[in-house]
Amino acid sequence: MTSQVSTFFAALLGSGLLSAIVTSWMNRKASKSIEQLKSNLDRGLYVTKAHYDLELESFRSLWTALSRIQLKARAFIAPDKFRIKTPEGESLDWFMRAFPRVTKDFLDAHDVLLRAVTETAPFYPSEIKRAADKITAIDMEFVRRVSNIDGTEMSDEWFDEFRAMSGRLDNEANGVEQLIRERLELLRIVS
């Protein structure tokens, strides 16, 4: 029986049937790869270099404003819970000394974010515009909360509220970053 099997395989190799099967399989695999490349090219958005540069600059200004507002929002949750001292060893009364400056820095970053979102809004793809609008809504929650000082500042609930808002802001900013990356990967520059 063993000699019959080996004779059969030798006949297959000699007849070219095996090479035809392998060639057919390789052709199908190559055709699938070519079709996948074609579909990737078809999905690409072809733009001029000037358009690409303008879009990249608008994304850069949006991302810079987003990262600034994230940092400024985190400043609200970092203070005197840790009993920070001045260089002279005095206890830093965070609410009286630092809160006004932190608030001013946050409101300045808020203004920059609103300008970045609204000035170039017509040029953003709709998904990025919606995500940026979600961030401005969270940002406005910060502004409302900071402008309405009610004596609960520095309480555990106050910190929890600001941590939750800061976490939502970070999540939305990460979403915008992902959308920007996906958009830039789709763009193809034509000359």
- In this predicted model, which residue has the larger pLDDT, 173 or 33? 173
Distance (Å, whole) CA 78 – CA 81: 7
Q: Is the pTM of this model over 0.75?
A: no
Q: What pLDDT does 44 receive?
A: 63
The domain spans of the chain are: 2-42, 45-190
Instruction: Give residue 49's pLDDT band: very low, low, confident or very high (50, 70, 90).
Output: confident
Please classify residue 98 by burial: count the beta carbons closer than 10 Å to its beta carbon, then call 0-12 exposed, 13-18 middle and 19+ buried: middle
Q: Which fold is adopted by the domain 45-190?
A: Four Helix Bundle (Hemerythrin (Met), subunit A) (1.20.120)
**Distance set, CA 161 to CA 66, 124, 135 (Å):** 20, 31, 16
Q: What pLDDT does 40 receive?
A: 58
